[in-house]
């Protein structure tokens, strides 16, 4: 049994922490909202009232927070992870943040005697609940191997993709692919509805051919049902697409489709739809065609 501090018990973090409990680990959770901590305690975990308390005896420290500044706030300062973790503890950052920030924080972690792994995930809330997330990991190979039991409890496809920061780079590519796929699906459903096609039947046959994808499987029905309860919020995908476009510019890479979808996502967030699931791109696709996407 490993003692794991889990910081950030949101849509993804809470089910992931519960799966770690079910796998037999001792999990100490911290979250700014105490209600989430209580849910973890009800599932067999332990709660902490501060980050320093959560990490004090932890062999592994997991963080799952929204953005680069949030990760920095959690790990830095006298009350943060680095100042209070045991020497040699593993730090697994499941958050999706900028690759350059991830690499810099990895250096800070090593200076503090903490072994860092950046391990952003894909699969959304359903994948977190079912423990079948795809996890792309950057860091030292030996640390990746040691963290295997933790990854196995929350994920299914787990790959070491390179040194610190590499996991975040691969996640940025993932978010580019997902966003463009969701937009294409939104346009396709709008097109099908305009012609009065049986959309349930259409998505079934499309899903069995080359057009099939996990995006179609997981987001198609949400669009048909106009159900945009968040599995992954538009405001978070907006943040991720900002990472993609910025990193692409730095690398001298052109991402025209990604940039266009980034603007559409940004428009939805700007008008107040940031809390919707990213399948909410369908709303804008239909409205641009003068149809009802609500």
**CA atoms lying within 13 Å on the CB side of residue 228:** 21
Q: Which residues contact 89 (CB under 8 A, 6 or more apart)?
A: 55, 58, 59, 60, 61, 113, 114, 115
**Do 279 and 233 meet the contact criterion of CB atoms below 8 Å apart?**
no
In terms of Cα–Cα distance, which of 67, 74, 69 is closest to 5?
74
* 219 among known catalytic residues: no
**Active-site annotation holder among 36, 171, 239, 283:** 171
- Residue 173: count of CB within 10 angstroms of its CB: 15
Please identify every residue annotated as catalytic: 171
């Amino acid at each position: 049994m490993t003692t794991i501090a889990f910081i950030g018990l949101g849509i993804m973090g809470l089910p992931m922490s519960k799966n770690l409990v079910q796998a037999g680990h001792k999990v100490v959770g911290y979250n700014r909202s105490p209600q989430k901590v209580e849910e973890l305690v009800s599932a067999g975990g332990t709660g902490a009232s501060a980050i320093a308390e959560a990490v004090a005896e932890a062999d592994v420290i997991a963080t799952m927070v929204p953005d680069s500044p949030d990760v920095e706030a959690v790990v830095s300062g006298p009350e943060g992870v680095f100042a209070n973790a045991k020497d040699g503890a593993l730090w697994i950052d499941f958050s999706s943040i900028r690759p350059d920030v991830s690499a810099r924080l990895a250096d800070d972690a090593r200076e503090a005697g903490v072994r860092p792994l950046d391990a952003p995930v894909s699969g959304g809330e359903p994948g977190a609940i079912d423990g079948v997330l795809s996890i792309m990991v950057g860091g030292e190979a030996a640390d990746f191997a040691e963290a295997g039991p933790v990854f196995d409890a929350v994920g299914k496809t787990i790959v070491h993709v390179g040194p610190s920061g590499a996991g975040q780079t691969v996640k940025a590519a993932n978010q580019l692919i997902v966003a463009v796929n969701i937009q294409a699906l939104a346009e396709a459903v709008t097109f099908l509805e305009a012609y009065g096609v049986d959309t349930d039947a259409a998505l079934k046959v499309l899903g069995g051919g080359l057009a099939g994808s996990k995006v179609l499987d997981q987001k198609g029905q949400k669009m048909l049902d106009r159900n945009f309860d968040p599995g992954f919020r538009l405001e978070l995908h907006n943040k991720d697409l900002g990472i993609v476009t910025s990193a692409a510019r730095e690398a001298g890479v052109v991402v025209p489709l990604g940039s266009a979808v980034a603007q559409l996502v940004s428009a939805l967030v700007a008008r107040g739809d940031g809390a919707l699931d990213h399948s909410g791109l369908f709303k804008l696709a239909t409205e641009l065609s003068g149809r009802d996407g609500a």
